[in-house]
Amino acid sequence: MRKIITTPLLVIYFGLVSFLLVKSADNGASEYAKIEKLVREIDQNNTELDSAVLSLRLGLVSDYDELTRCERQLSTLELVQQNQHADSTLEIQLRDTLSQLIDEKIHLSADFKANHSVVRNAMSGFRRHAAKSLKQIAKTSTQNANKVSVLEIMGARFVVSGSIADEASFEAAIADVKELESKDSQTQSTLALTLAHATKLVEHRIELDRTIETLVAVPIRQEALEFLDKASVRCIAESHTANRFRVCLVIAVALLIGFCIYQYIVLFKHKAALHESNASLERRVRERTEELASANQELEEAIAEAKKLALVARYTDNAVVITDAEATIEWVNDGFRRITGYEPHEVVGRPFHEFLNGPDTESAKLETMVAALDSKKGFDVETVTYRKSGKPYWVEIETRPITDQNGEVTRFIAIESDISERVKSEIERQKLNEQLVDASRTAGMAEVATGVLHDVGNILNSVNVSTNVIRRQFRKSALSSLERLTGLIGEYGDNFGEFIREDERGKKIPDYITRVTSVLKSEHQAITSEFQDLIDNVEHIKEIVSVQQSMAKSSGLRQRLLPTDLVNDSITANKGTLSNHHVKISQEIEESIPEIVSDKHKILQILINLIKNAKDAMVENDTPDPEIKIRVACAEEHVVFSVIDNGVGIPADQIEKIFNHGFTTKRTGHGFGLHSSANAATEIGGTLTVTSSGAGKGAAFHLKLPLDYQPPLATVPS
Amino acid sequence: MPNQVLQQYRSEPIRPLHAPAGLSLEKIALGLQLFHDVRLSKNNTISCASCHNVKEGGDDGLPTSVGIQGKVGGLNAPTVLNSSLLLAQFWDGRVKDLHKQVEGPIHNPVEMGSSWEEVIAKLKDDSAFTARFTKSYPQGLSAESISDAIATYESALVTINSPFDRYLMGDNSALSDEALEGYKLFKAIGCVSCHQGQAVGGNMFQKFGVMGKFEDHFDSSNEVNHGRINATKRSVDLHRFKVPSLRTAQRTAPYFHNGCARTLEDAIRVMAEFQLGESLDDREVGQIKAFLISLDGEIPEELER
């Protein structure tokens, strides 16, 4: 819109300016200068010509070359006029005005030359011949000579003055002399010549001066100067007009400049704004570029990722299916074909679940899948479906919905694995498991039995040991010494008293008998304690067996127990073997250990086992000072029995396996002890743990039992 | 102007000639060729040199010239030598300068009978000449350029170094006694009033028959004898003719505008009688003739062709 307004405005403005520019051109000054120059030249030439004429007239110059040159110069204007066309109108006017006058002048000059030469010759001729005549006539007539003389004088006067009065006198004198006649032909001819010259003088003398007057009076100078004045006036007027136009032009241009300045200011402001917006634009561009770059980067990464994923999808053995939101298949990968036997074009566009079921498919599973898809949810299902060939196979399907940024489900992606093999092996495993369970049940029973046997074995070991001790004791008994002594008595008979008093050996016998008696006492003590132990152990066996029986009946025996008793009983059970191997055993029982309510026999089983193991460890290690510490401590609602040895220790890599069934490090071990002990501990609500600093650094087993164990109602098989 | 500069000349009404300065040598050469080029005439028989034979004094030695097809003209061909010094060209002075003079003979049916178109066309056919011509005259062959070339050549034909000029410049031995006497007489009886200046004439118009009657010598009914009035239409110009230069007078017989004076003596005698009212005896005529002979100078040989 603005353009439509401004363009014609601009055109008008520039038209105006051009007009003013043209009008303000002050040609007047240059024109005037040209005119002035021309006028000056004309004036000069004119003056020179006049000068030349007068010089000639005065006789200062005797040839017409200079005058002719002046004529030429003056007439050059004419010549120039014909050649140049670019003169101003004023110049042309001037030339037109003056050329006529110049023509006139030149003609007058030509007339002058002709007249002047004639007059000059007439003068000279007259003088010459008048003088000659006078001489000739003076011979004959004085009167005539006088007339001739008068003629001469009048002629001379006339020649000099050129006045009319003198002319008249001269003419009179000529008339006088004309009357003269001479007989002498020569004189006559001379006279005739004289008169001829005189007549010529009369003809041309005054004419000459008039010619000169006229010539000089040709108003070339006046015309030129007048013209110059007119030109001056006109040029000044032109200058004024031009000046006025120039003022207008200046105003117009000033307006333009003002406008430009205004525009410049506006532009400047806009420029600043532009700069600002430019800067912000740049910023935004930069930001966008960065965004774009990062987006690009992401895109590249995504593309790379996608390519990788595509590779995955292409080459994975699993089938990948992509469906739309309605679970219609959009795309399947190569794996799908490999698994199902269907080509992509056979499945694209079909509902997804079509390929997830067949005759043997559990309807419940199919319903689950369809329901999940309908509700736009994913599902993980293992089911039977059918290949294209009709063969069934087990498939594990993981389906997930894909949502857009609004949370709308746009697609489903499903990954199917052919798990037929796995299912098969799963079934087999199941079978094996059952077998195992049976086996384990059997084994468990066997284990229990073994455990019982083991525990009983342990105790029987102690029994054995006890009986061995007793037997040894009896064997080694000091009784034999007494027997020997009686033997000796018998030998000496009555002399025995003497023997005792006199014999060196015999002196020792009272002492010896005392010693033997004390030994027998201690033997008796030892055997008694051994017997006690024996009885205890047998009791223990009875208990174990009854426990086993009660276990078969699945009811645990609970009774109030003192930890100290438990520790002592378990030590006793191992007494024989401990003393055999010279294992020191010590107790550290905390004060105020409360009673615990639990299964005595299980606890004893465990403790006995632990002690036995400890002993075995030290025996194996050949520990120089084998020592077993038994600690009992109280911890929260539990009591902790710790069996600490300085035996072979347990390396770090075995410490976890140590409670495993069948694990043993003993040469003659069968690995049941710790396992069943751990199980037993668990059965009575406790834990069995071990700590060891490592190989050769001993071990510590901790049995942590609750103070009051309440078994659950149903038995939980281990 | 050389005339004004050197006042050491003898102050005489006659002044020495000087070689013309500032003329382009190429243009002179072109003008020389054109001056002698017969193609300027209609039937390619007449060139400028036919009537203005530079070798023979610059005229044709005929009372009136002969143009194409033997057509006889009405006037005696003036000499081309020193013609640049004349105030006007032709006996009636109708043309101011040599440039303007060229077209006269070209178009005159009794002279060359041609026209500029014809001449230019013929010259353009000559490619070698045209090429050479165009070098000096970029505007090419035209009336102006051809006239200018010819005029430039003619301007170069100034007869310098005459015995009389040498006398004027101080060489007293240059003039014979007879010539000197002739000069004195020339001055005394008044010949010098009209035959003066550098060119010994050529700078004014004068009536024929100052002392004598015109009709006594010429047929005044013949227009050709009317003189300057033919050009100016001024009554005073009746029987006025351009005063010819006497510089090369010895070579330009016959004399006067119609060539009626066969010899120099004739011319001298007629002039003395009709212009000065003098009758000269043979001795005087001889002296004046000797003087006139001493006026003749030389032009560069290469310009003679």
Kindly report, residue by residue over A342-376, the tens digit of the pLDDT. Answer: 898 988 999 888 888 888 778 888 888 888 888 88
Place of tokens 């023509």: A103
Measured between alpha carbons, how far is B30 from B24 in angstroms, rounded to an integer?
10
In contact, A65 and B198? CB cutoff 8 Å: yes
8-state DSSP, A592? T
Which pLDDT score, from 0 to 100, does residue B201 have? Answer: 93
Do residue A68 and residue B204 have CB atoms under 8 angstroms apart?
yes
Structure tokens at A250: 């200046």
The C-alpha angle A648, A651, A656, rounded to 5 degrees, equals 120
What pLDDT, on the 0 to 100 scale, is given for residue B1? 44
Catalytic option among B56, B103, B111, B154: B111
Best residue in B92, B97, B192, B203 to probe A by mutation, most A CBs within 10 Å?
B203
Higher local confidence (pLDDT), A515 or A153: A153
Residue A584 confidence (pLDDT): 86
Distance CA A9, CA A2 (A): 11
Q: Which pLDDT band, with edges at 50, 70 and 90, does B3 fall under? A: very low
Q: Report chain A residues whose CB lies below 8 A from the CB of B193.
A: 117-118, 120-121
List of residues 6+ apart from A670 with CB closer than 8 A:
A450, A454, A662, A664
Cα gap A505→A161, rounded to integer Å: 226
On average, the pLDDT of chain B sits at 88
Cα–Cα distance between B174 and B128 in angstroms, integer? Answer: 46
Span A245-266, average pLDDT: 87
In this structure, the dihedral spanned by the alpha carbons of residues A416, A421, A425 and A426, taken in order and rounded to 10 degrees, is 20
pLDDT of residue B188: 92
Backbone angles phi, psi at B207, to 5 degrees: -65, 135
Question: What pLDDT shows up at residue A552?
Answer: 57
Q: Which of A55, A117, A124 to probe by mutation at the B interface, max B CB count within 10 Å?
A: A117
Query: Quick one: CA torsion of A208, A210, A215, A218, rounded to 10 degrees?
Result: -170
With a cut of 90, say whether residue B151 has pLDDT above it.
yes
Q: What is the average pLDDT across B61-69?
A: 81
pLDDT at position A713, please?
57
Please enumerate in sequence order all residues whose Cβ is within 8 A of that of A132, keeping only pairs 6 or more positions apart, or say none: A190, A194
CB distance B196–A68 less than 8 Å? no
Q: Taking 60 as the threshold, does the pLDDT of residue A676 lie above it?
A: yes
| pLDDT 10s digits, B11-41 | 789 999 999 999 999 999 999 999 999 898 8
Separation between Cα atoms, residue A117 and residue A129, nearest integer Å: 17
Q: At A422, is the pLDDT very low, low, confident or very high (cuts 50, 70, 90)? A: confident
Contacts of B86 in chain A (CB under 8 A): none
Give the three-state DSSP class for A501.
Answer: helix
Q: Which of A191-205, A696-710, B80-94, B138-152 shows the lowest mean pLDDT across its residues?
A: A696-710
Q: What is the pLDDT of residue A2?
A: 61
pLDDT exceeding 90 applies to what percent of chain B? 52
Least confident of A56-70, A545-559, B108-122: A545-559
**Closest among A445, A40, A15, A476 to A252, alpha carbons compared:** A15
Residues of chain B in contact with residue A196, where contact means CB-CB under 8 angstroms, are: 211, 277
Give dist(CA A578, CA A629) in Å, integer. Answer: 13
Nearest Cα residue in chain B from A200 = B211
pLDDT of residue A595: 86
> Which are the contacts of A65, defined by CB distance < 8 A and separation ≥ 6?
B3, B15, B196, B197, B198, B203
**What pLDDT score does A122 carry?**
92
The answer to whether residue A508 scores a pLDDT higher than 50 is yes
Overall average pLDDT of the A578-588 stretch: 84
Query: What is the pLDDT, as a whole number, of residue A503?
Result: 79
What CA–CA distance (Å, rounded) separates A680 from A641? 14
Q: Give the pTM.
A: 0.55
The verdict on whether omega for the bond into residue A8 sits within 30 degrees of 0, i.e. cis, is no
| Token pair 């030290």 in the structure block, residue | A618
pLDDT of A81 strictly over 60: no
Backbone angles phi, psi at A343, to 5 degrees: -80, 155
Is residue B298 annotated as part of the catalytic site, yes or no? no
Compute the distance between CA of residue A363 and CA of residue A358 in angstroms, rounded to an integer. 9
Map tokens 């250990």 to a residue: A593
Give per-residue pLDDT as tens, B174-231: 899 999 999 999 999 999 999 999 999 999 999 998 888 888 888 888 888 898 999 9
pLDDT classification of A565: cutoffs 50, 70, 90: confident
- Give the Cα separation of A313 and A334 in Å (integer): 8
Task: Output the CA torsion A153→A159→A164→A168 (10° steps).
Answer: 40
Q: A699 forms bridges with which residues in the sheet? A: A645, A692
- Give the ipTM of the model, two decimals please: 0.91
Cα A181 from Cα A485, distance rounded (Å): 251
Q: No. of H helices and E strands in chain B?
A: 13, 2
Q: Which two tokens stand for residue B62?
A: 């005929």
* Token code pair at residue B39: 């193609």
Question: Which of B4, B192, B236 would best serve as a mutation to test chain A binding (most A beta carbons within 10 A)?
Answer: B236
CA of A78: which chain B residue's CA is closest?
B96
Which chain A residue's Cα is nearest to B275? Answer: A118
Distance from CA of A126 to the nearest CA of B (A): 11
State which of A382-396, A550-564, B68-82, B238-252 shows the largest mean pLDDT. Answer: B238-252
**Cα A146 to the center of its chain, rounded Å:** 140
Question: What pairs with residue A417 in β-bridges?
Answer: A396
- Count of CA atoms in the C-beta half-sphere (13 A) of A489: 9
* Res A678 pLDDT > 80: yes
B12 contacts in chain A (CB < 8 Å): 62
